[in-house]
Amino acid sequence: MTDFAKTRALFRLPDGVIYLDGNSLGPLPIAAEARVARTISEEWGKELIRGWNSAGWISWPRSIGDRVARLIGAPAGSVVMGDTLSIKVFQALAAAAALRPERRIILSDSGNFPSDLYMAEGLVTALGRGYQVKVVAPDAVEGAIDDSVAVMMLTQVDYRTGRLHDMAALTARAHAAGVVTVWDLAHSAGALPVELERCDVDFAVGCTYKYLNGGPGAPAFIYVAPRLADLAQPILSGWLGHEAPFAFDLDYRAGPGIERMRVGTPPIIALAALDAALDAWDGVEMDAVRRQSIALSELFIREVEARCPSLTLASPREPLRRGSQVSFRHADGYAVMQALIDHGVIGDFRAPDCLRFGFTPLYIGEADVMGAVAILERILATGSWDQPRYRQKAAVT
């Protein structure tokens, strides 16, 4: 049985703050402080370069990848950590496209996160030879799948609205047309049950600083289906993906399986924080997380719609069509969100008009939802959000 009172105690949440932004940056897992300190002082400090062997640093991208694999329905040995998500998107996309050399279209949708589309644009420019990125509306993806498409690259949960794609159905449809699939799980991993193996997904990528609470800039992950792992061509052919990195050969030969998706030296201190953060998931069932996330989101929607008439729901109303976030539109959404944050309710804003709220049962409960709605209602009813200081745009929204 998943015990959310127990998981909540594993996080450091500042007094007076209701944190509804774990879909953007998870809070600090208390265990990460001691774990990072130990890696710095005991491992780096005392072991120095020996730490690569004595502390096992060199294999952390794989061992931590196995811990992430459990949370996304992937078998052990199919996930490796490293780099940023944008880099992993590029890597997965290039390897996927190379599996269909006679096709030229990378299909995606306008709900995708811009960095994924930018990386695809960069890849097609580098590849030349008539490669194109085709972007359609999210509900037009299925109809756009045909045998001209090499790769379908989708983010499962829309970062703005929380709209959830049907991974099983779209992957099956893509495979029927011979299309290779790349799924971005940035807003899925740790948010809802993901079944990569059951859905027969080819490639998946994701970040660990959102629902997995690995900390700002925590390393990303890449999944390659075991049936493809020895066929996938690593476009970023760095030395740690080589078959024998310490042979220092002059020519690149891809390493076995998922090892070839490694690029360079892994960020050990960041991985130490992530490893500690993943302890919070031990004994947690994703189905229980999903049930509670839906209960909290439904409560939030019901209360906001009853008490804040100037907000319009931007997320799908049907809970099974959402990830673990809820968004509302307001013409002055940025200022409203700044006022909310000023009053201790932290969510975020996505242009042009979306207020985003993440529901993360590991450390958020019903009382937080009710407390947040009460503050939101007051700010809107009094108009206290309408002040120049709340309209001043910060670099990060």
Ligand X SMILES: Cc1ncc(COP(=O)(O)O)c(C=O)c1O
- The yes-or-no answer on residue 356 being catalytic is yes
CB of 323 to ligand X, least distance (A): 11
In whole angstroms, how close is the CB of 21 to ligand X at the nearest point? Answer: 12
Instruction: Please identify which of the residues 113, 203, 334, 390 carries the catalytic annotation.
Output: 113
246 is catalytic: no
Residue 125's Cβ-count burial label (10 Å; 0-12, 13-18, 19+) is exposed
Calculate the alpha carbon distances from 359 to 2, 124, 294, 300, 322 in Å.
16, 36, 8, 9, 11
Active site residue 134: no
**Residue 113 lies near ligand X (rule: CB under 6 A):** yes
Residue 149 sits at φ, ψ, to 5 deg, of -85, 130
Q: Counting contacts by CB under 6 A, is residue 357 touching ligand X?
A: no
Task: Find the shortest distance in angstroms from Cβ 371 to ligand X.
Answer: 27
Does position 116 interact with ligand X (CB under 6 A)? The reply is: yes
Is residue 131 annotated as part of the catalytic site, yes or no? no
The dihedral sign for the CA sequence 91, 321, 396, 273: negative
In sequence order, the β-bridge partners of residue 357 are: 326
Nearer to ligand X by Cβ, of 7 and 188: the residue is: 188
CA distance 29 to 27: 6
Alpha helices for the chain (secondary structure H): 4-8, 30-38, 51-54, 60-71, 85-98, 114-127, 141-144, 167-176, 196-199, 268-278, 286-307, 333-342, 366-382, 388-391
Site residues for ligand X, 85-104, by CB under 6 A, read 85-86
Q: Cβ closer to ligand X: 155 or 293?
A: 155
Using the rule CB under 6 A, which residue among 2, 84, 233, 237 binds ligand X?
A: 84
The crossing angle, in degrees rounded to 10, of helices 60-71 and 268-278 is 30
Candidate residues 159, 183, 349, 357; the one interacting with ligand X per rule CB under 6 A? 159
Nearer to ligand X, 7 or 155 (CB): 155
* 203 lies in the site for ligand X, by CB under 6 A: no
Which 205-264 residues touch ligand X, going by CB under 6 A?
A: 207, 220
Residue 278 CA to residue 67 CA, distance in Å, equals: 7
Is 353 catalytic? The answer is: no
Specify the residue, 36 or 270, whose C-beta has the smaller distance to ligand X. Answer: 270
Question: Which stretches of the chain bind ligand X, using CB under 6 A?
Answer: 84-86, 113, 115-116, 155, 159, 184, 186, 207, 220
Residues labelled catalytic: 113, 184, 209-210, 356
